[in-house]
Structure 1
Amino acid sequence: MAFSRYCVVLVQALFTVLAVQFVALNLNSLSRGCAVRVLGLLLASWWGPGFYELDSALGGVREQDQFRLIIQRTGGLVDLYGPRARLLNLSDRMKIAMGRIPPDPVLWRDVDDLEKCLVALPLPSEL
Protein backbone atom coordinates (compact mmCIF):
# COMPACT_ATOMS: atom_id res chain seq x y z
CA MET A 1 0.00 0.00 0.00
CA ALA A 2 2.78 2.42 0.77
CA PHE A 3 4.36 1.88 -2.65
CA SER A 4 1.34 3.32 -4.45
CA ARG A 5 1.52 6.47 -2.32
CA TYR A 6 5.14 6.96 -3.29
CA CYS A 7 4.33 6.62 -6.98
CA VAL A 8 1.38 8.96 -6.85
CA VAL A 9 2.80 11.71 -4.68
CA LEU A 10 6.51 11.58 -4.03
CA VAL A 11 7.76 10.46 -7.43
CA GLN A 12 5.81 13.17 -9.23
CA ALA A 13 7.04 15.78 -6.78
CA LEU A 14 10.61 14.55 -7.21
CA PHE A 15 10.37 14.72 -11.00
CA THR A 16 9.01 18.26 -10.80
CA VAL A 17 11.82 19.43 -8.52
CA LEU A 18 14.46 17.75 -10.67
CA ALA A 19 12.99 19.24 -13.86
CA VAL A 20 13.04 22.75 -12.36
CA GLN A 21 16.62 22.30 -11.12
CA PHE A 22 17.71 20.91 -14.50
CA VAL A 23 16.20 23.81 -16.44
CA ALA A 24 17.84 26.32 -14.09
CA LEU A 25 21.31 24.97 -14.93
CA ASN A 26 23.17 26.77 -17.69
CA LEU A 27 24.48 23.81 -19.64
CA ASN A 28 25.69 23.65 -23.21
CA SER A 29 24.14 21.05 -25.53
CA LEU A 30 26.81 18.40 -24.85
CA SER A 31 26.51 18.75 -21.07
CA ARG A 32 22.72 18.76 -21.28
CA GLY A 33 22.75 15.58 -23.41
CA CYS A 34 25.07 13.82 -20.95
CA ALA A 35 22.95 14.91 -18.00
CA VAL A 36 19.76 13.64 -19.65
CA ARG A 37 21.42 10.28 -20.37
CA VAL A 38 22.71 9.96 -16.80
CA LEU A 39 19.29 10.84 -15.36
CA GLY A 40 17.67 8.36 -17.75
CA LEU A 41 20.06 5.59 -16.68
CA LEU A 42 19.47 6.36 -13.01
CA LEU A 43 15.72 6.30 -13.54
CA ALA A 44 15.88 3.01 -15.48
CA SER A 45 18.12 1.39 -12.88
CA TRP A 46 15.67 2.32 -10.13
CA TRP A 47 12.35 1.92 -11.95
CA GLY A 48 13.02 -1.39 -13.69
CA PRO A 49 13.88 -3.50 -10.63
CA GLY A 50 11.02 -1.89 -8.73
CA PHE A 51 8.49 -3.43 -11.10
CA TYR A 52 10.39 -6.64 -11.90
CA GLU A 53 8.86 -8.27 -8.83
CA LEU A 54 5.36 -7.72 -10.19
CA ASP A 55 5.89 -9.81 -13.33
CA SER A 56 4.39 -13.17 -12.40
CA ALA A 57 5.70 -14.75 -15.64
CA LEU A 58 9.22 -14.30 -14.31
CA GLY A 59 8.30 -15.74 -10.91
CA GLY A 60 8.34 -12.40 -9.16
CA VAL A 61 6.09 -11.50 -6.27
CA ARG A 62 5.90 -8.49 -4.08
CA GLU A 63 4.60 -10.13 -0.95
CA GLN A 64 6.58 -9.34 2.13
CA ASP A 65 4.59 -11.71 4.29
CA GLN A 66 4.74 -15.49 4.15
CA PHE A 67 1.11 -16.11 3.20
CA ARG A 68 2.23 -17.32 -0.21
CA LEU A 69 4.61 -19.86 1.32
CA ILE A 70 1.98 -21.01 3.81
CA ILE A 71 -0.60 -21.49 1.03
CA GLN A 72 1.88 -23.48 -1.05
CA ARG A 73 2.95 -25.74 1.81
CA THR A 74 -0.57 -26.45 3.05
CA GLY A 75 -2.06 -27.26 -0.34
CA GLY A 76 -4.15 -30.42 -0.15
CA LEU A 77 -4.54 -30.43 3.62
CA VAL A 78 -8.07 -30.65 5.03
CA ASP A 79 -7.89 -29.13 8.53
CA LEU A 80 -6.32 -25.69 8.39
CA TYR A 81 -6.10 -23.52 11.51
CA GLY A 82 -4.21 -20.31 12.09
CA PRO A 83 -4.17 -17.24 14.36
CA ARG A 84 -4.87 -15.02 11.35
CA ALA A 85 -7.44 -17.15 9.55
CA ARG A 86 -9.21 -14.12 8.06
CA LEU A 87 -6.01 -12.93 6.39
CA LEU A 88 -5.14 -16.41 5.17
CA ASN A 89 -8.61 -16.80 3.63
CA LEU A 90 -8.23 -13.39 2.00
CA SER A 91 -4.86 -14.45 0.61
CA ASP A 92 -6.50 -17.62 -0.77
CA ARG A 93 -9.17 -15.57 -2.51
CA MET A 94 -6.54 -13.31 -4.04
CA LYS A 95 -4.55 -16.32 -5.28
CA ILE A 96 -7.71 -17.79 -6.83
CA ALA A 97 -8.44 -14.50 -8.59
CA MET A 98 -4.90 -14.48 -10.00
CA GLY A 99 -5.20 -18.12 -11.06
CA ARG A 100 -2.31 -19.29 -8.90
CA ILE A 101 -4.22 -21.91 -6.91
CA PRO A 102 -7.19 -24.09 -7.85
CA PRO A 103 -10.65 -22.79 -6.95
CA ASP A 104 -12.55 -23.90 -3.83
CA PRO A 105 -9.70 -24.18 -1.32
CA VAL A 106 -10.32 -25.45 2.19
CA LEU A 107 -11.15 -22.49 4.43
CA TRP A 108 -8.81 -21.55 7.22
CA ARG A 109 -10.29 -21.55 10.70
CA ASP A 110 -9.17 -19.63 13.76
CA VAL A 111 -7.98 -20.66 17.22
CA ASP A 112 -11.51 -20.89 18.63
CA ASP A 113 -12.41 -23.43 15.96
CA LEU A 114 -9.24 -25.38 16.78
CA GLU A 115 -10.23 -25.62 20.44
CA LYS A 116 -13.69 -26.91 19.43
CA CYS A 117 -12.11 -29.43 17.07
CA LEU A 118 -9.77 -30.77 19.78
CA VAL A 119 -12.69 -31.34 22.14
CA ALA A 120 -14.79 -33.26 19.60
CA LEU A 121 -14.13 -36.85 18.63
CA PRO A 122 -12.67 -38.23 16.43
CA LEU A 123 -9.60 -36.02 16.43
CA PRO A 124 -8.18 -35.02 13.05
CA SER A 125 -5.17 -37.06 11.95
CA GLU A 126 -3.26 -34.02 10.68
CA LEU A 127 -3.55 -30.28 11.45
Structure 2
Amino acid sequence: MKDTLKLSILTPDRVLFSGEIKELMTENELGRISILPNHVAMICSLIPTVTTFIEENSNEKKVFSSSGVLKVKENEIEMLCETAEWPEEIDIERAEASMKKAEEILEKSSGHENKRAELKLRRSMMRILAKH
Protein backbone atom coordinates (compact mmCIF):
# COMPACT_ATOMS: atom_id res chain seq x y z
CA MET A 1 0.00 0.00 0.00
CA LYS A 2 1.22 3.43 -0.89
CA ASP A 3 1.70 5.95 1.94
CA THR A 4 1.47 9.18 -0.10
CA LEU A 5 -0.82 10.78 -2.69
CA LYS A 6 -0.05 12.98 -5.67
CA LEU A 7 -1.82 16.35 -5.21
CA SER A 8 -2.38 18.92 -7.96
CA ILE A 9 -4.13 22.21 -7.12
CA LEU A 10 -5.06 23.85 -10.42
CA THR A 11 -6.73 27.12 -11.36
CA PRO A 12 -7.40 28.50 -14.84
CA ASP A 13 -4.27 30.67 -14.41
CA ARG A 14 -1.72 28.34 -12.85
CA VAL A 15 -0.68 25.21 -11.05
CA LEU A 16 -0.64 26.32 -7.41
CA PHE A 17 0.82 23.07 -6.10
CA SER A 18 1.94 19.74 -7.49
CA GLY A 19 3.61 17.17 -5.29
CA GLU A 20 3.42 14.21 -2.94
CA ILE A 21 1.41 14.57 0.27
CA LYS A 22 0.34 12.42 3.20
CA GLU A 23 -3.12 13.93 3.78
CA LEU A 24 -5.51 16.57 2.40
CA MET A 25 -8.26 18.34 4.36
CA THR A 26 -10.80 20.49 2.53
CA GLU A 27 -14.54 21.15 2.44
CA ASN A 28 -17.56 20.35 0.31
CA GLU A 29 -21.28 21.10 0.76
CA LEU A 30 -21.58 18.33 3.36
CA GLY A 31 -18.67 19.47 5.54
CA ARG A 32 -14.95 18.90 6.08
CA ILE A 33 -13.37 15.94 4.33
CA SER A 34 -10.00 14.28 4.72
CA ILE A 35 -8.28 12.30 1.98
CA LEU A 36 -5.60 9.78 2.93
CA PRO A 37 -3.54 7.40 0.76
CA ASN A 38 -5.53 4.58 -0.83
CA HIS A 39 -8.79 6.57 -0.61
CA VAL A 40 -11.71 5.29 -2.64
CA ALA A 41 -12.26 7.01 -6.00
CA MET A 42 -14.58 10.00 -5.77
CA ILE A 43 -15.62 13.28 -7.32
CA CYS A 44 -17.24 16.10 -5.36
CA SER A 45 -17.77 19.83 -5.63
CA LEU A 46 -15.85 22.17 -3.33
CA ILE A 47 -16.89 25.31 -1.49
CA PRO A 48 -14.61 28.21 -0.56
CA THR A 49 -12.50 27.17 2.42
CA VAL A 50 -9.04 26.91 3.92
CA THR A 51 -7.58 23.72 2.50
CA THR A 52 -4.69 22.16 4.39
CA PHE A 53 -2.37 19.35 3.45
CA ILE A 54 0.61 17.57 4.94
CA GLU A 55 3.57 17.23 2.63
CA GLU A 56 5.73 14.14 2.35
CA ASN A 57 8.26 15.75 4.75
CA SER A 58 5.43 16.32 7.34
CA ASN A 59 5.25 20.10 6.77
CA GLU A 60 1.66 21.36 6.96
CA LYS A 61 0.60 23.84 4.27
CA LYS A 62 -2.60 25.81 3.93
CA VAL A 63 -4.19 27.60 1.00
CA PHE A 64 -7.39 29.46 0.33
CA SER A 65 -9.36 27.44 -2.21
CA SER A 66 -12.54 28.66 -3.88
CA SER A 67 -15.42 26.77 -5.40
CA GLY A 68 -14.38 23.93 -7.62
CA VAL A 69 -14.19 20.19 -8.12
CA LEU A 70 -12.15 17.54 -6.31
CA LYS A 71 -11.29 14.28 -8.05
CA VAL A 72 -9.62 11.35 -6.29
CA LYS A 73 -8.49 8.26 -8.17
CA GLU A 74 -5.63 5.79 -7.68
CA ASN A 75 -3.73 7.89 -5.11
CA GLU A 76 -4.00 11.05 -7.21
CA ILE A 77 -5.97 14.13 -6.17
CA GLU A 78 -6.89 16.91 -8.56
CA MET A 79 -8.38 20.08 -7.12
CA LEU A 80 -9.77 22.25 -9.91
CA CYS A 81 -10.56 25.64 -8.34
CA GLU A 82 -11.79 28.96 -9.67
CA THR A 83 -9.03 30.54 -7.56
CA ALA A 84 -6.50 29.34 -5.01
CA GLU A 85 -4.00 31.43 -3.07
CA TRP A 86 -1.18 30.91 -0.60
CA PRO A 87 -1.66 32.96 2.61
CA GLU A 88 1.16 35.35 1.64
CA GLU A 89 -0.66 36.16 -1.63
CA ILE A 90 -3.87 37.25 0.09
CA ASP A 91 -4.56 40.98 0.27
CA ILE A 92 -6.16 41.19 3.72
CA GLU A 93 -7.46 44.75 3.24
CA ARG A 94 -9.18 43.76 0.00
CA ALA A 95 -10.68 40.66 1.65
CA GLU A 96 -12.00 42.74 4.58
CA ALA A 97 -13.49 45.33 2.19
CA SER A 98 -15.13 42.55 0.17
CA MET A 99 -16.56 41.03 3.35
CA LYS A 100 -18.02 44.38 4.42
CA LYS A 101 -19.58 44.93 0.98
CA ALA A 102 -21.11 41.43 1.02
CA GLU A 103 -22.59 42.05 4.47
CA GLU A 104 -24.13 45.32 3.23
CA ILE A 105 -25.67 43.57 0.23
CA LEU A 106 -27.08 40.82 2.47
CA GLU A 107 -28.80 43.42 4.66
CA LYS A 108 -30.64 44.89 1.64
CA SER A 109 -31.17 42.02 -0.79
CA SER A 110 -33.01 38.78 -1.31
CA GLY A 111 -33.17 35.90 -3.78
CA HIS A 112 -30.43 35.51 -6.38
CA GLU A 113 -28.54 38.59 -5.16
CA ASN A 114 -28.59 37.15 -1.66
CA LYS A 115 -27.02 33.85 -2.78
CA ARG A 116 -24.22 35.67 -4.62
CA ALA A 117 -23.56 37.88 -1.59
CA GLU A 118 -23.44 34.83 0.71
CA LEU A 119 -20.82 33.22 -1.54
CA LYS A 120 -18.84 36.47 -1.66
CA LEU A 121 -18.99 36.69 2.12
CA ARG A 122 -17.75 33.10 2.52
CA ARG A 123 -14.87 33.65 0.08
CA SER A 124 -13.82 36.77 1.98
CA MET A 125 -14.05 35.10 5.37
CA MET A 126 -12.03 32.08 4.23
CA ARG A 127 -9.34 34.33 2.74
CA ILE A 128 -9.06 36.17 6.06
CA LEU A 129 -8.93 32.86 7.93
CA ALA A 130 -6.21 31.51 5.60
CA LYS A 131 -4.14 34.64 6.14
CA HIS A 132 -4.10 34.21 9.94
* Shared fold (TM-score, shorter chain, > 0.5): no
State TM-score, norm by structure 2: 0.26
Higher helix share: 1
- Which is bigger in relative contact order (C-alpha 8 A, separation at least 6)? 2
Which structure would you say has the larger Rg?
Answer: 1
Higher strand share: 2
